[in-house]
Amino acid sequence: MRIAFTSCMSAYSFPDQPVWDQIAQAQCDELVLLGDSAYYDADGQSTAAIQAMDANTFALHAHERLYKQVSHPTFSALVKTPTLRTHAIWDDHDFLWNGSCGAQIEGQPQYSHLLPPTRAVFARYRKALAARFAPGSFPQVPPPWAADVPPPGYSNVPLAHDVLLHLTDGRSFKSTRGRKALMGSKQLDDFEAACASASSDTVHLLASGVVFEANSGETWLGCAKEHERLLALADKYRILMLSGDVHHNKITKYSTGRGRLLFEATASGAAICTLVTLGALQCNWGLLDIDAERITVQVFQKDPATLPQTIDRKTWRWVTQQAGA
C-alpha cells in the first residue's frame, strides 16, 4: 500500500503546483490532505476582513478559494485518478483565520455566525474529493449553504484490514484559554475506542493539522492533557502521526517514557511559501509504503528526497538504514 500526504496550498497565489504531478508519478493508493487546502485569510484578505464578513459573504469567499484549488488542472487530474482515494482534514486557514479556535469562537457572537458556513463549504469540498470531482460536485457557482452541517469531528477509514486512517478535527473544539483543548475529549475517546476495537497488529495513522511538538507555533504540546493522553495511547497501540501546518518536512519519534514510541511524519508546504506569500516556494510532500512487515517513510522537497526511514511493524522501532538505501 502506498500513501501520499501533504498540506498547505494556495492555488490563488501559486498556480504552478508541480507537487501533484510528482505524487501522480508515485502511483499512490491514498492521498491524505492535512489541512490548509486554501488560505481564506491571505492572498489579499486579512483576518480583520474575514471577521467583518456576514455569513453569506464568507460562504461565497470560502467556496471561491476552494474552487480555485479544486479546478487546478494537475490537482484535479490527480484526484480524478480512478485508483486513488483522497481524504482531507482542515486546519486554521481553511477553517477561518490564522490560529482560530472554534471553542472560543462559539462564545463570541460577533464571529460565531461564520461557523455554519465554513462547516458547510468544507463538507462540500470533502464530498467532492470523495466523488473524484465528478461533474457538479463542486460547481463554480455555489449552491446555497446548509446551516445545520455539524463540525467534521473524528472519523476513521480502513485502508486495509490492519491499517486504519484516523481523520481528526483540530479546529472546531480547540481552545487556548481556561481548559485548553486541541481535539477535545470526545474525539480522543472515539480515537481510543477505534484503536481498542482493531486487531492488535493494526497500524494507526493519525491525521493531524498540527505537529506533535515544536519550539513555537501550534502543537499538541500546547494542550498538555491531550499531549500526555496521546503518549499514553502510544504505549498500547502502533501510532504514526501524519501532520502538516509548519511549511517544512520532518520525520521523528517520541518516547512515551515507558519503553514505547510515537512516530510522526510531517509534510507541509505543497504549494506555498515559507511565510505563506514570502520566502522560498515550497514543494513538500510525504510518502508511506506499507507492507505486512514494515512502513517506509520518505519526505520530498524541490531538492532530492531525504533517505527513507523504515519502521518495523512488529517491534515498532526504526530499522537501521544503509547509506543510499
Homologous superfamily, domain 2-319: Alkaline phosphatase D (PhoD) (3.60.21.70)
> H or E stretch including 227?
helix 224-234
Grid cell digits, residue 163? 491499517
Say which DSSP state 260 is in. Answer: -
CA angle 187, 192, 198 (to 5 degrees): 130
Residue 320 scores a pLDDT above 90? no
Q: Provide the mean pLDDT of the chain.
A: 95
Predicted confidence (pLDDT) per residue in 234-275, tens digit: 999 999 999 999 999 999 999 999 999 999 999 999 999 888
Residue 305 scores a pLDDT above 70? no
Grid cell digits, residue 37? 487546502
Residue 324 scores a pLDDT above 70? no
Indicate the domain borders of the chain: 2-319
Q: Which residues pair with 317 in a beta bridge?
A: 312
Residues 6 or more apart in contact with residue 178 via CB below 8 angstroms: none
Predicted confidence (pLDDT) per residue in 109-139, tens digit: 999 999 999 999 999 999 999 999 999 999 9
Q: Find the mean pLDDT for residues 138-147.
A: 96
**pLDDT at position 303, please?**
64
**pLDDT at position 322, please?**
41
